[in-house]
Each structure stands twice: as structure tokens, then as C-alpha cells.
Chain A
Amino acid sequence: MKVFEILLLVSLIVCAVSVAVIRDLLTSIIIFMSYSLIMCVIWVLLQSPDLAITEAAVGAGVTSILFFVTLKKIRAIRKEDDRDDEA
């Protein structure tokens, strides 16, 4: 269990640093989502499941969706067709 906690904390720090470092905004938001999910598991380990539910719903769900919508509005995310052409 101790190893699991240390693993979670290390990946939390890695996620937090890479959100700030990575240049692509879409990737950055997805890493931010995973940061919230790790934080959610840590809340469960700290015996506060109500905070874990809130973190999963707000941090990983609503906040990221609002970021996505904003990126789409300011055209930082390209259309799906362009991405298909590139791939």
C-alpha cells in the first residue's frame, strides 16, 4: 500500500509539472484530467470519499469540458477533418 501511495504521489508531481511544461494545449488539458483522477484516488486513500466524488465530477469532468469548449471557441483545437487528413 505504501508503494502504491508513493507511486501515486510521484505521478501526481509528474502530471503537475508536465501540465505547465507541455506546449500543446489539448495534451495539457488531458494531463490535467489525469491529474484530477490521481488526486481523486488519493482522496479515497485519505478516507474522504465525498471529496473524491466531487474531485472526479468537477476536476476531471466539468472543468476539462469547459476547457475543451473554450479551446474550440478560440480555435486552438483544429477541426476533426484536418486531424484525419494529417493521420
Chain B
Amino acid sequence: MTRLRDDYEHSRYRKFKRWYDGEVNLLEDVMDVTLPDGKQEGQKESRSAGPSGSPALEARRKASEAVYGPEVWPQRETVDYAQWRRHAQEALEARIHPDGYFGAGGRPGNGPAETAARGLRRFRRFYQVMSVILCMMIIAVFLWTTIHLPPFGGADNPANNEVPARYIESGLAETGAINFVTGMILDYRAFDTFGESCVLFIASCCVLVLLRIDASNGTSRARSRGPQEDDRLFEPKNDVILQRAAFILVPLILVFGVYIVLNGHLSPGGGFSGGAVLGSGLILYLNAFGFAKTERFFTEKVYRRVTLCALTFYCLAKSYSFFTGANHLESGIPLGTPGAILSSGLILPLNICVGLVVMCTMYAFYTLFRKGGM
């Protein structure tokens, strides 16, 4: 997926990094932007072998001495950072009180450090008091709003306007779904649901970007993590109780999830809840039997294809239906008899799409958190 850059050594970031590490002088690089190869190798050696490098480096050092004097270049190369950090740490500890505030070396007085410590303490007290007051104010505002809400299920509530009336009166005839919540979110408001599915997909993409450990590119990073941090090596746990429970529960959970998805237009449920149930069942199966079993049927390739197909089908199907609906054309999608499993037009396939996307997202979250891959 990622292509390695051939001219990485000449990139701006690399140049900035070298300048930041103190290897090169920025003013010299302005003169010759494309460094010859011999000079770069000399610099690489100089990082490991100290100042006595290649002749190109010697030439650079002479040029630097001519500009800055004899002291600058060797100093820049041989700074002992560990020693310097130790000195800084000691100097810092000498000025810090045991309770964590800055003080003037433990000596009582009215120095600037003492004043700063007192100010910090005052600020912390002020911060605590203000946060409590703010929290109380928010609670009071919420309670005050709740008191003035209309009663639950009242007939005169402002939510009872013409929109739910339309849904309730003609929802069954227009969508063909008995459960008109599903009919609402997958027919009248199908565009919102498409946005939600895309949000889930984008969220899993972000987790993938942040947590993925690439087998081909990040080998050094994966090796440096050490075996005890790699969760996969301890799989499966062979927990007998968990495996027995999962042996009974996982088929039930998966069948229940499939039932919720397929019956979304007939009974309460739908793509989101069914997909979440399916994802939890898969996670339970993974916990009980390990990655080796789940990777037989659910890999990253499967995830990519399933998610892509589901989202593309949703987009195309709803685009077609919106296009025909906006132009007052016959869509040609039969609504069927209400109550049958194959009814209500596009709602059943759209439910399956949403369920697949949600299931894949849940499972992908878990595996990415667990081992940084699928």
C-alpha cells in the first residue's frame, strides 16, 4: 500500500532532522541542495564512529572551523547527552521541594521561586473550587430544564407534529415495513443511516491507521516490542470454562444477531443492533478459541471486501431509489405483502448491509486493539 520514497535522504524532513540533530549546518545546505553520495555516507559513519570520519567530513570540518573557529565543530559532535541530562536532572532536583513545588533550594524566604510556588498552590485551589462550582451550575441547569419538560407521552407535546403523524399513518403503505422505526431510518431517513455507516467505517479506518502494526514495513518496531507484548503468542488461553461457555453461547448469539438483522422490518431491531450482537458474538468466539481459529474465516481481506461491498451496495441502491423518487418515476422495486420476510423493498438488503458494516467494525476494533492487525 505504501510506496517507499527513493530520494528519502534528500527530503525536507530528513534535512530538518539532520539539522535538528546537529549534524549539518543549515547555512551550508542552502548552497548545495543535492548532496553527493559520498558526503552522505561520511555523515552516516560520523554518527556512529565519532568525529574521525571520511575525507568529505574532514573537509566540512575545516570549512566549519574557518567560519566558526576551531571549537565549534568538535563540540557539536561529541556532546555527552547522558551526562548533560544528568547534570540538568540534579540541578532541577535541587530546586524542587519534596511535595513537588518549586522552591528556592529548601531555604525559607521570599524569593521569586517561593512566590511562584505560592501562586501555583493558590491557582490549584482556585481551579478545584471553580470546577466544583461549574459542575454544580451545569447540574442545576439540567435539572431546571428537566422540570420544565412536557410530560412523557403527552398528547400536546411539541414532538407530536405532522412528521410522526405521516410516519404512523402512511408509513406502512409507503415503506411496507411493519416496524416503522426501521422503515423510518432505512427509507425516509436512509441518507442519515448511510452517513452513520460511513462514520463507523471511517472510525475503523482511523483505528487502523493509529494502531496497525505492519508486518512488512514495521519489522524493527514489531521486534522491539518484545514477545511479552505481542498478545498473539499467548493464544489460545485454553480456559476450559470460557471455552465450554462459548461453545454453547456463541451459536445462540450469532443466530440471534442474524435474526435481528433479517427481521429488522418486522420486529424491533435492525442493522445496527443486529450487527452489534454479531460483533460481540465474534469477539467472544475469538476470546475463547484464539486468533488461529478466527483467521480461517475473517482476515483483513475479508473485512475490506465485505465493508466495501456493503457500503457500495447501500450507496448505489439508495441513489437509485432517491433518483427515481425525486423524479417521480416508478422504481420497480416491489414492496411485497407486509409481514412477509421478503417484503418492504430495499429495507431488508439495506439492513443486511448495515449489519455487516457494524459487525466488521466491532470485530476490527477489537482485533486492532488486541494485536494491531486483523
Contact = CB atoms under 8 A, between A and B. Distances in A.
Interface of A: 48-51, 53-54, 57-58, 61-62, 65-66, 69-70, 73
B150 to A, nearest CB: 15
A73 B277 contact: no
Contacts of B181: 50
Contact of B276 (A49, A58, A69, A70): A58
B269 interface: yes
Contacts of B276: 53-54, 57-58, 61-62
B272 interface: yes
Closest 6 CB pairs between A and B?
A: A57-B276, A53-B273, A49-B268, A50-B268, A61-B280, A54-B273
B280 A66 contact: no
B283 A62 contact: yes
Contacts of A48: 268
B369 interface: yes
Counting chain B CB atoms within 10 Å of each CB, the highest count among A54, A57, A62 belongs to: A57
Interface of B: 181, 260, 268-270, 272-274, 276-277, 279-280, 283, 362, 365-366, 369-370
A54 B260 CA distance: 11
Contacts of A62: 276, 279-280, 283, 362, 365-366
Contacts of B272: 54
A69 B277 contact: no
B334 to A, nearest CB: 26
A53 B365 contact: no
A66 B366 CA distance: 6
Nearest to A59: B276
A66 B283 CA distance: 11
Contacts of A49: 268-269
A8 to B, nearest CB: 15
Given A62-B279, A62-B362, A50 B270 contact: yes
Given A50-B181, A50-B270, A57 B280 contact: yes
A50 B266 CA distance: 12
B273 A66 contact: no
B275 to A, nearest CB: 9
Nearest to B274: A53
B210 to A, nearest CB: 12
Given A62-B362, A62-B366, A69-B366, A53 B277 contact: yes
A15 B181 CA distance: 30
Contacts of A73: 369
A5 to B, nearest CB: 11
A50 B260 CA distance: 9
Contacts of B268: 48-50, 53
B260 A66 contact: no
| Residue of B181, B273, B274, B279 most packed against chain A (CB within 10 A) | B273
Contact of B283 (A51, A54, A65, A70): A65
Contacts of B279: 57, 62
Contacts of A51: 273
A56 to B, nearest CB: 8
B277 A57 contact: yes
A69 B279 CA distance: 16
B273 A50 contact: yes
